[in-house]
Amino acid sequence: MNSLKLISEGNGFGIASVENFQNFAGKAFVKDILGTTGMEISFGTLGEGEAVPFLHKHKQNEEVYIILRGEGIFSLDGNDYPVKAGDVIRVEPEVSRGNRNTGSEPLTYVCIQAKAGSLEQYTMTDGVILE
Ligand code: ZN
């Protein structure tokens, strides 16, 4: 079982690794390891037949789930949607959500949370070419 571990850090940056998504299990929060300040990123795994044991929504953060491995069901405001590796799911704060593994291998995903409406600049409008 792999977890997220700090590999290297410097003034203003950090590098962590889960080493191998195929062996990642459980839950890991990037904020706890790298100290993110504008987003939360977590790695999650549900074993065969497992489900997140509650529905939830958020006060102010939207979420994007990126499915890395396996297949499952996302319940969004009471409707079920099948998902699989490669799928990307965006959920606004007030939408009720839950997920479960319906496949025969672990369902592994990354969840990114950021304050809804906070993205003001991105890609080339926020990036500054240095050389
Ligand atoms: Zn959430």
Does residue 20 form part of some domain?
Answer: no
> Which residues constitute the domain of residue 91?
4-11+25-118
- Rounded Cα distance between 38 and 36, Å, is 6
Does residue 130 form part of some domain?
Answer: no
CATH at 103: 2.60.120.10
Query: What per-residue confidence (pLDDT) applies to 1?
Result: 59
Distance 130 CA to ligand 1 centre (A): 36
Distance 104 CA to ligand 1 centre (A): 24
Query: What per-residue confidence (pLDDT) applies to 62?
Result: 98
Distance 128 CA to ligand 1 centre (A): 32
Does residue 125 form part of some domain?
Answer: no
Mean pLDDT split into 10-residue runs, the chain, 131 residues: 88 94 87 96 96 96 97 98 98 98 96 96 90 90
Q: How many domains does the chain contain in total?
A: 1
Cut 0.75: pTM above it: yes
Distance 7 CA to ligand 1 centre (A): 26
Query: What per-residue confidence (pLDDT) applies to 120?
Result: 92
Distance 11 CA to ligand 1 centre (A): 30
Distance 65 CA to ligand 1 centre (A): 9
